[in-house]
Structure 1
Amino acid sequence: MTKVLLSLHVLAAIVAIGPVTVAASMFPAAVRRSDLDQMRTLNRICRVYALVGLTVPVLGLATGASLGVLTDAWLLVSIVLTVLAAVVLAYSILPAQAAALWSRDPVDATRLGMTSGIFNLLWATVVVLMIVRPGSTTGA
């Protein structure tokens, strides 16, 4: 069962988190070009895949429980970074994208790009922790 959970967790991460990170990174450039069609598409990708992405931590927790590693430091740090990434997406990136789409006020594309970069860096760190698992006794 552990292999199935791990496979589903990795698959969900690739399918759900990948598109959000790419779309969030592309959005500031679309703002600079004032490409409203592309902005709408990228925002929709971010919103929809953010919801689908909720399966990733659920499957991750199930996998961690199955492996018996829920109290390992690398997993706890990954959980904290995942929560931070979700907060950045929900409370910074998505509202800024909505503001760019629906208001007449200009959105700071540079700041949005920086925020998207932080979001992506958080996810990249989680991926590295999932692969390296420093201090793990389950083997590499």
Structure 2
Amino acid sequence: MTKFLLTVHILAAILAVGPVAVAASMFPPTVRRALAAPGDAQALASVRLLYRICRVYAAVGVAVPVFGFATASNMHILGDTWLIVSIVLTTLAAGALIALVLPRQDALLTELDAAAAGAQSEPVATVDARRTVRLAMFTGMFNLLWAAVTVLMILRPGSTTGG
């Protein structure tokens, strides 16, 4: 059973967290391209797609800690320090995504949609590009937290696998 749970945990991490990490990283430069070409429907469609990928796969990503806890419980390692640190880092990564990345993506997309519809009196070109830089920073934090969790999962201090 442990091998099954671990396999599902790893597959969920690859298939759910990976797309969020990539799409979230692509989002800020794609917004900047959309801002540079206000009439470009393809650029706006790309921003919408990246946001949707982030939202959907973030929801699917809930499976990662669920199967992680099941695996750790089955292995009787819930009290191991490296696992507790991984849980804390995972919580911080989820918090960054939920509180810092997704709301900023939504706000930028809403602004781009309004500008494209002509509902915004302010020209699109004057949208503060620093917001995309901050979003990129928060996305980088999210990705670094997941990278740290991945390293801990691979190295597993105290592991008997020789890692």
Q: Same fold (TM over 0.5)?
A: yes
Structure-1 residue corresponding to 2:71:
63
Count how many residue pairs are aligned between Structure 1 and Structure 2: 140
Return closer, same or farther for 1:86/1:112 CA change in 2, 3 Å cut-off.
same
Q: For structure 1, which runs of at least 5 residues remain unmatched after alignment?
A: none
Alpha-carbon distance, 1:106 to partner: 4.2
1:64-85 Cα distance to aligned partner (Å, 9 max, x none): 0011110001100000000000
Alpha-carbon distance, 1:139 to partner: 5.5
Greater shift in the superposed pair: 56-65 or 30-39: 30-39
Percent of residue pairs bearing the same amino acid type: 59
| TM-score normalized with structure 1 length | 0.95
Moved over 3 A (4+): 104-107, 136-140
Structure-1 residue corresponding to 2:19:
19
Alpha-carbon distance, 1:136 to partner: 3.7
Structure-2 residue corresponding to 1:30:
30
Q: For structure 2, which runs of at least 5 residues remain unmatched after alignment?
A: 35-42, 112-119, 121-126
1:57-109 Cα distance to aligned partner (Å, 9 max, x none): 00000000011110001100000000000000001100000000113664611
| TM-score normalized with structure 2 length | 0.82
1:33-48 to 2 correspondence within 5 Å? 33-34=33-34, 35-48=43-56
RMSD of equivalent CA atoms = 1.4
CA distance in 2, matches of 1:92, 1:38: 21
Residue in structure 2 matching 1:81, options 83, 86, 89: 89
Letter in 1 for 2:84: L
Letter in 2 for 1:10: I
CA distance in 1, matches of 2:158, 2:108: 44
Higher-Rg member (1/2): 2
